[in-house]
Structure 1
Amino acid sequence: MSLRFSLMGPVRAWRDDDEIDLGPRQQRAVLAALLLNNGIRLSNDQLIGMVWDDPTPSAVMALRTYMYKIRKALPELDLKSKDGGYTVRAELVDDCRGEPLEGLNSTYFDAQRVRLAQQRLKAREDWLERELDVLELQKHVTANPLRERPRALLMHALYRDGRQAEALDQYHQARALLNDELGLEPGPELRKVHAQILNGDLLLARRPEQLPPDLPDFTGRAQEIARALQVLPGTVGITGMHGSGKTALATRIGHLAKHRFHDGQIFVRGNDVVQELLRAVGVENPTGDRAALWREKARGKRFLVIVDDVPDAASLSDLHTPGSAMILTSLRRLNEIPGVTWFKIAGLTEAEAHELFRKVLDPRRIDAEPEQAAFVLAGVSYLPNPIRVLGGKLSARPQWTVEMLVRQMERETRLGNAVPSDCRAVLAPLVKAERQLTDEERRLLRDFARQEHDVINICEAAELSGMDLACMEVLLESLADVHLIEPLTLGRYRLPRFVKMFYGLRTLVPTS
C-alpha cells in the first residue's frame, strides 16, 4: 500500500489511487508543517509557531486534537509524540495543480510558498534544459518573460533547429523588455549565447543515452535491485562468475534509475574507460590529464555511468564526480576501489530459475517433464545465461524432449572443446573462465570434481594435489575470487554443480 502527499496546490494525500480527506484548514496546516520538514523532529512549540502567527493558549489543545485526527486518518505515518515533538517521513509528489500550500496562511507558509515556487521553476527549467523543446520553452518564456535562463535556452534550441534569426530576435525582445520593465541590460548568460550565435560557435550539448536494451525476460534479483537503487548515486559494484547475469542486472538497475540522472547515461565496455567517457560527452581527441578533463566535463552534471567488465582498479582512478553514479561489473571484487557497495551474484533461486525457463520455453513442454527440467536447471547451477541458451535451444527443436537435452548435455560436455555451437554457448561461461586459469588451478578443479562430495577443506585439497597448505590456500582463494568455488567457512569451499559437471566430465578426455 502506497501513501503519498502533495503540497503543490491544496495539501493532498492519496492511499494508492484513493484520495484521503485531510480535514479542516488548520489540520491540513499542521500536516503541511510536518511534511515541509520531512524527517526532522519538530517540537510542539515549533509546530505552533509555524501554523499560527499569534497563537492563543488554546493552540496547544488544538494541536493535540489535530495530531489525534491526523494519526487516525493516516496510521501509516506512525505519528507518535517523542521527546515532546513529532517526526514525519513521507513521499512527496508534485502534481502541478497550482500555487503551493494553497489556502494556508501564516508568515512561515508565505516564506515556504515562495521557496516551493522557486523550486518548481528550477525543476521545470532543468527539464527544459535537458529536452530543449522549442514549443515548451516558448510557453515557459511567455509565462515568465523576465527570467533570463529559459530565454537563453530558447535561443539555444532555436539555433539548434537552424532558426538563427529567430534566436537572435529572442535576445532583442528580452533586451527591450528588461530595459522597459527594470531598466537593466541582459545578464551574462543571455549575452554569451547571443555572442556565440553571432560568431557561429554555439556548442550544442551532447546528451548520451547509451544504455543497452533491458532484457524482456529478466527474472529475479529483487533484493539486489532494491538495495542498489538505495545506494545510487553512490557507486555500486556487481561481481559474480561468468554467466551469472552481471551485465543484465546492471542494465536493469540503470533503466530503473535513469530518470534520476538527467544529463545522460553512459555505457562503457573496454580497457580505456576514461577515453570512452570523454567520447560520450563529445571529446574525441583529448590531450593532457584525461581524468581531470572528464571531471571538468562532468562537474555539476548528473550522469549514470555503467562500466561493464572493469579490467582493473587503476582504470577507474580519479573518475568519480559528485552527483553522478557508477555501476561496475567485474569478475573479481576490486576492494582497492574506495566507496563501492559490492553485490555478489550467483545463480537464481530455484523458483526464479524455473520462472525464467518458462519465459524462454513453452511451459507445457516443461510441465510434461518436470523432473528432467529440474535436473537441467540444477545442472547449470541456476545461472541465467545458460538457462536462456538452453531454453532457446529447445524452442528451436520442437520435436525434442527435455530428456533428450539432458542426454546431449552429458554427451557433448565429454567432447571437450569439440562441441556444436549451441552447446558451446551453454558452456561459454566456464570455457571463458578456464582460459584465464593457471595449469595448477585447472588441475585442482579436475581433482575436486572427481570427488563424490561437493565440499572440500584446505587440508583435503592439499592432500589431493600434493601441495603444501600455504600454496593451497592461495590457490583456493584465487579460484574463489573468480567464483569457480564458493567459500563457506574459513578453509572450507563448495564446488558449484555446473563447475563440477564441466570439470568432472572433461577429465574423461584430453582438453586443449
Structure 2
Amino acid sequence: MGGDHRDPTPAQRLQTNVHRLRKVLDEPGRLTFASGSYTFLVHPGELDADRFDELVTRTTNCRDPHQRVDLLRTALELWRGSPFQGVDLGELAAYAQRLAERRQVALEELYTAELECGRHTEVVADLTDLARLHPYRERLHALLMTALYRSGRQADALAAYRHTRQTLVDELGLEPGPELRTVEQQILAGESCAVARPFAAPALPPAQLPQGPRDFVGREDELATLSRLSAAGDDTMQVVVLSSTAGVGKTAPATHWAQHARVRFPDGQLYVDLQGFSPHDPLPPTAALGGFLRALGEDSAAIPHDPIERAARFRTLPEGRRVLVVLDNAAAEQVRPLLPGTSSCFVVVTSRDALSGLTVGHGAYRLDVGRMSRDEARALLRARAPLGNVSQESAAWLAERCEGLPLVLRVAAERFRDSDSHDVANLAAELEGGQDRLDLFDTGDDQTSLRAVLSWSYRRLTPEAARLFRMCGFRCRHSSHYLDGPGAAALLGTSDVRAVRRLLGELARCGLVEPTPDGRYQVHQLLQSYAAELADHYERNQTLPRLVNHYMTGTAAAAGFIRPREVAPRVGGLSGTRVSALRGCASALRWLEDNRPNVLCLAELAAEIGHRDVSVDLSTTLWPYFDLGGHQDEARRVHTLARTAANELGDHAAEAIAVRALGVLELRLGRYDTAERHLREALALHDANARASRATTMTYLASVFAATGRVEHALPMARQARDLCSQSGGESVPATAMNALGRFFRQCGSHQEALRWLRSAHDTAERQGLQPVRAHVLFSLAEVHLETGRYASAVENAHQALDLAKNNGVSDLADAVAALRGSIPEHTGTSAASGQKTLR
C-alpha cells in the first residue's frame, strides 16, 4: 500500500502510520497487533463498501422504481471522491478500479429508475454531465437521449447521438452498439422509446464466494499452482480440478485462494455447492445454471427452460468478462453443462472424483490434493486448540493419529479444547482404539461428522465396489494398508484381477482409496474403521481365510528366494490367489517391500483373534527378510507376537526362532544386554537335537561376547557352534550362520578358520540360489583377503558382492563396499582411480 517497493524501512514507516491512525480513532484499541500483523476491528455495517453493496443488491428484486431510486441514492451518498483517495495504490489499483465500476453501474441503474418514474426533465442536467465525463459509456448516452426525447427535445436527442457516434468513430474506430442505435431508430420513428433495465449485466458483478476457513494453513503448492494457471492467459478457458479422498480438504484451499484472487476477476465470482457427495440429492445442473444466469443479470423470464439451451446461454453470456467460477463438491455428470465457453473465465472444480473425462475432453488440469504434512497438521491443531503447554513431540503424535485429514484435525482440536485435562496422550489413545474410534468424530452434524462425510461416497458405489470396500475393513493398528489387483481379488475370492482393478478404480474415483504412484491403492486407517463397521459378521469371517491364503502364499514364495525355512510351516494346505510373478530375489524383495504393511496387518489381526499358527508362521517366514536389515520396529512387533503365540501353542522350536530373531535385532542395534538375554533364552528353548538351530544361536551369542570384550567366552561359544555345524552336515546349517562364524574368526585373527567357514557358506548359498546371502558372504571374503594381503582376490570378491547386491536389491552393502574401495589402493600402491575402476 505504500507504493514504493524500494523503501528501505517499510516496518518503521508502517509503525509510524499506525501511530498516526490510532490518534484519530475514537477507539484506539480497535487496531491491534498479533502474530506479526495488524488487525483492524470493523463492526457489522461500518464498512461503507459493504453497506453500499447491500443497498444496491436490494434493488435487484425490487420492482418499484421509486423504491429503487431511494435505495440507490442512499447507496451513492456513501461515496466521497474516488476509492482509496490519497493512498498510493500499488497492488490495490485493480480493486480500486472495480469499486469505481460498481459506482458507475449504480449510477446508470439510478437514472434508469428515475426515467421509469417519469422524471425526464429533472435528470437531463445530471446525465449531460455524466455523459461528458464518460464519453465511451454508451448506456449513459442512451439514457441522456431518452431523457431529452421524452422532455420534448427530439433534435437535441439526435444531436447527442451524432456527437457520441463521431467520438466513437474518431477515437476508437467503432460504430455505436445495438442499444444506442435502437434508441436512435425509435426517436426517428417517433416511437415511445425507453431504456430498459439492462439484462446482460447485473447492477453489481456477482460476488458469491463463501468465506474461507479462518484457520487456513499450508497448501502453498496448491495455492501457487492455482495462481500460476489463472494468470497464464491462454486462448482457451482454463479448468482446474482439485480432487482427493474424503476429509482431505478441497473446498478450503479452493475458497481461500478464490477469496484472495477475486480482485483479478472484476466481472464477478460465481460459486455453487453441487452436493455431488453430500446427504442431499445432487443439485441438478439446470438449477445451478439458472442461478448463474440470474447472477450475471439475465432476467428470470428470459432464461430458457430447455437444459441444452440454458447451458448454451451460459456459455455465451460471460463473453469478454473476467469471471471466476467455482464448482464445489461436484460429481462427474454435473460439471460439463456448467462450463462457460470463453477464455476470459477461470473455473475451479472440487471433487472426490478425479474427473478423468474432464481432463481428457476439456484439457482440465488435475491438482491432486494430498493429506497435510506433519508441519501443516501441527499448525492447524495449534490454530484451533490451546496447545501452549503441549510439547512438539506430543502435538506431532496427535497430528499423526489424525492422518493429515483437516476435518479430523479440526474435530480432534475441538475435543481437546473441550476436555478438562487437556491430555494429548488420552486423546491419542482414544484415536488408537478400535472401530468405535469413529465415535470421536461424531459432531452431531451431517456436514462435519466423519461417518456422514464418508457415507456420501459409499452410497455412490456399485454393489460390487461397495462389497470390496467393506472387505477392506481388516485394520492394522499402526498403519494404513495397501491393495493391488491380486490382493483385492483375494479379498473378494475371485481370480478375475482385471475386473477387480476396475472396482479399485471406482473406489478411487469416489475418494475411498488413494492411488499411489506404483499402481497400488492405499486404504487409510479411518477408512478401514468405517469399512469394518459396514461389514457384517459373515463377510468378516470370509475375509481372514482369504487373506491368510493370499499373503502367506506370497510371503513364503518371496522369502524362499532369500533363505530356506528353518522349521516347517504350521498352516498347511494353502492355495492362495495369484500373486505377482516372482522371477528372482530382486522381484521377491520388491514384493515383500510392497506388501509389508498388509502382512503386518495380518500378523496383528491374527494375534487379536487368536490365530496363533498364522502369527508363528509369519515370523519364521519373514525372519530371512528382516535379517537382511531394516524395518526394526516392524520386525520386533512380528517376532514378539510370534513369541507369545508359540508359547501359548507349546511350540518351543518356533518360540526359540522368534526369541533368537529378537536377540539378533538387539545385537545389530548395539543393545548387547538385551541381545544376550534373548539369545540365552532361545538357546535354552532349542531342542538338543536341533543342531543347526543351536549352532546359529550360538554364533550370534559369540558375537555378543566379542562385541562386549569377553573373548574368553566368545571363542568357546564359537567353537561349540563350529562343532555343531560339522555334526549337522552342510545343507542343514544356514549359510548365514556359517557367514557369522567366518566373520567372528576373522575378528579374532583366525583367518584360515574364517576362510573355511566363509567358503562353505558361499557354496551353500550358491547351491540354494540365495543371492543376497552370497553377496554378504563375498563381502566377508573380500575383507579376509584384504587383511591377509590377497588384494586381487579382495577386489574380485568385492566386485562380485557389489554386482549381486545391485541385482538383487540388497542396498545395505553399498556403503561397506565403498569403504573397501578406499582401503585397497593404500595396500596395493595403485592409484585410487585405477582401484575404483577395477572394483566397478
Please give the range of the TM-score, normalised by the shorter of the 2 chains.
0.5 to 0.7
Does 1:327 find its partner at 2:348?
A: yes
Q: Distance in 2 between matches of 1:405 and 1:298?
A: 51
Alpha-carbon RMSD across the aligned residues, in angstroms, is: 4.8
CA drift of 1:457 comes to 3.5
Q: Distance in 1 between matches of 2:376 and 2:322?
A: 34
User: Could you say which residue in structure 2 is the equivalent of 1:152?
Assistant: 139
Assess if the C-alpha contact under 8 Å between 1:129 and 1:153 holds in 2.
Answer: no
Structure 2 unmatched ranges of 5 or more: 10-83, 87-92, 112-124, 169-174, 231-236, 275-282, 540-840
| Residues 339 and 470 (structure 1), Cα distance of their counterparts in 2 relative to 1, 3 Å cut | closer
Larger deviation, residues 140-149 vs 453-462: 140-149
Q: Distance in 1 between matches of 2:469 and 2:370?
A: 21
Quick check: which has more Rg, 1 or 2? 2
User: Could you say which residue in structure 2 is the equivalent of 1:336?
Assistant: 357
Q: Distance in 2 between matches of 1:181 and 1:319?
A: 37
Q: Secondary structure at the match of 1:342?
A: strand
User: Could you say which residue in structure 2 is the equivalent of 1:42?
Assistant: none
CA drift of 1:149 comes to 2.5
Q: Distance in 1 between matches of 2:5 and 2:192?
A: 51
Structure 1 unmatched ranges of 5 or more: 1-12, 20-94, 98-119
| 1:155-185 residue CA offsets vs partner (Å, 9 max, x unmatched) | 76x99xxxx9699889998866787899899
What one-letter code is carried by the residue in structure 2 that aligns with 1:148? P
User: Could you say which residue in structure 2 is the equivalent of 1:202?
Assistant: 197
CA drift of 1:249 comes to 1.5
Q: Distance in 2 between matches of 1:425 and 1:410?
A: 18
User: Could you say which residue in structure 2 is the equivalent of 1:485?
Assistant: 513
CA drift of 1:439 comes to 3.7
Does 1:394 find its partner at 2:416?
A: yes
Q: Distance in 2 between matches of 1:426 and 1:172?
A: 72
Q: Distance in 2 between matches of 1:230 and 1:183?
A: 42
Q: TM-score by structure 1 length?
A: 0.62
Q: Distance in 2 between matches of 1:182 and 1:492?
A: 67
Q: Distance in 2 between matches of 1:181 and 1:263?
A: 25
Name which of 210, 215, 218 aligns with 1:217.
Answer: 215
CA drift of 1:435 comes to 3.5
User: Could you say which residue in structure 2 is the equivalent of 1:57?
Assistant: none
Q: Distance in 2 between matches of 1:260 and 1:235?
A: 16
Q: Secondary structure at the match of 2:357?
A: coil
Q: Distance in 1 between matches of 2:149 and 2:429?
A: 70
Q: Distance in 2 between matches of 1:265 and 1:228?
A: 15
Assess if the C-alpha contact under 8 Å between 1:242 and 1:429 holds in 2.
Answer: yes
Assess if the C-alpha contact under 8 Å between 1:379 and 1:497 holds in 2.
Answer: no
Q: Distance in 1 between matches of 2:98 and 2:454?
A: 51
Aligned positions of 1:164-179 closer than 5 A: none
| 1:368-416 residue CA offsets vs partner (Å, 9 max, x unmatched) | 2544433332222111122112212322335442233234445584277
Q: Distance in 2 between matches of 1:499 and 1:466?
A: 21
Name which of 404, 429, 437 aligns with 1:382.
Answer: 404
Higher helix share: 2
Assess if the C-alpha contact under 8 Å between 2:130 and 2:140 holds in 1.
Answer: no
CA drift of 1:453 comes to 6.8
Assess if the C-alpha contact under 8 Å between 2:239 and 2:365 holds in 1.
Answer: yes
Higher strand share: 1
Name which of 481, 505, 508 aligns with 1:454.
Answer: 481
Name which of 259, 269, 292 aligns with 1:280.
Answer: 292
What one-letter code is carried by the residue in structure 2 that aligns with 1:494? Q
What one-letter code is carried by the residue in structure 1 that aligns with 2:386? D
| 1:6-48 residue CA offsets vs partner (Å, 9 max, x unmatched) | xxxxxxx9655469xxxxxxxxxxxxxxxxxxxxxxxxxxxxx
User: Could you say which residue in structure 1 is the equivalent of 2:630?
Assistant: none
What one-letter code is carried by the residue in structure 1 that aligns with 2:208? Q
| Residues 16 and 190 (structure 1), Cα distance of their counterparts in 2 relative to 1, 3 Å cut | farther
Q: Distance in 2 between matches of 1:413 and 1:300?
A: 54
Assess if the C-alpha contact under 8 Å between 1:301 and 1:324 holds in 2.
Answer: yes
User: Could you say which residue in structure 1 is the equivalent of 2:319?
Assistant: 299
Q: Distance in 1 between matches of 2:484 and 2:349?
A: 32
Aligned positions of 1:51-450 closer than 5 A: 128=101, 131-132=104-105, 134=107, 145=132, 148-150=135-137, 152-153=139-140, 189-190=179-180, 192=182, 198-199=193-194, 201-203=196-198, 205-206=201-202, 207-232=205-230, 234-270=238-274, 271-282=283-294, 283=298, 284=300, 285-288=303-306, 289-313=309-333, 315-317=335-337, 319-322=339-342, 323-337=344-358, 338-364=362-388, 367-368=389-390, 370-410=392-432, 413-414=435-436, 420-421=442-443, 425-437=449-461, 438-447=465-474
CA drift of 1:451 comes to 9.9
The higher relative CO (CA closer than 8 Å, separation ≥ 6) is in 1
Name which of 520, 527, 550 aligns with 1:499.
Answer: 527
Larger deviation, residues 413-422 vs 481-490: 413-422
CA drift of 1:244 comes to 1.4
What one-letter code is carried by the residue in structure 2 that aligns with 1:467? T
CA drift of 1:235 comes to 0.9
Q: Secondary structure at the match of 1:310?
A: coil
Q: Distance in 2 between matches of 1:417 and 1:392?
A: 14
Q: Distance in 1 between matches of 2:494 and 2:368?
A: 29
| Residues 350 and 154 (structure 1), Cα distance of their counterparts in 2 relative to 1, 3 Å cut | farther
What one-letter code is carried by the residue in structure 2 that aligns with 1:495? V
CA drift of 1:358 comes to 0.7
Q: Distance in 1 between matches of 2:440 and 2:402?
A: 20
Assess if the C-alpha contact under 8 Å between 1:309 and 1:329 holds in 2.
Answer: yes
Q: Distance in 1 between matches of 2:156 and 2:387?
A: 66
| Residues 129 and 369 (structure 1), Cα distance of their counterparts in 2 relative to 1, 3 Å cut | closer
Assess if the C-alpha contact under 8 Å between 2:240 and 2:348 holds in 1.
Answer: yes
Q: Distance in 1 between matches of 2:479 and 2:106?
A: 66
What one-letter code is carried by the residue in structure 1 that aligns with 2:238? G
Assess if the C-alpha contact under 8 Å between 1:215 and 1:248 holds in 2.
Answer: yes
CA drift of 1:447 comes to 3.5
What one-letter code is carried by the residue in structure 2 that aligns with 1:333? A
Q: Distance in 2 between matches of 1:180 and 1:475?
A: 70
Assess if the C-alpha contact under 8 Å between 2:243 and 2:350 holds in 1.
Answer: yes
**Segments ≥4 residues shifted beyond 6 Å:** 123-126, 137-141, 164-175, 177-186, 193-197, 415-419, 450-453, 505-511
What one-letter code is carried by the residue in structure 1 that aligns with 2:212? D
Larger deviation, residues 261-270 vs 499-508: 499-508
Q: Distance in 2 between matches of 1:167 and 1:418?
A: 72
Q: Distance in 1 between matches of 2:416 and 2:148?
A: 61
Q: Secondary structure at the match of 1:286?
A: coil
What one-letter code is carried by the residue in structure 1 that aligns with 2:284? D
Assess if the C-alpha contact under 8 Å between 1:240 and 1:483 holds in 2.
Answer: yes
CA drift of 1:304 comes to 0.9
Does 1:474 find its partner at 2:502?
A: yes
User: Size of the alignment, in residue pairs?
Assistant: 395
CA drift of 1:425 comes to 1.9
What one-letter code is carried by the residue in structure 1 that aligns with 2:213? L
Q: Distance in 2 between matches of 1:197 and 1:276?
A: 37
CA drift of 1:300 comes to 2.4
Assess if the C-alpha contact under 8 Å between 1:305 and 1:325 holds in 2.
Answer: yes
Assess if the C-alpha contact under 8 Å between 2:316 and 2:341 holds in 1.
Answer: no
Assess if the C-alpha contact under 8 Å between 1:380 and 1:386 holds in 2.
Answer: yes
Q: Distance in 2 between matches of 1:18 and 1:431?
A: 56
Q: Distance in 2 between matches of 1:473 and 1:351?
A: 34
What one-letter code is carried by the residue in structure 2 that aligns with 1:347? R
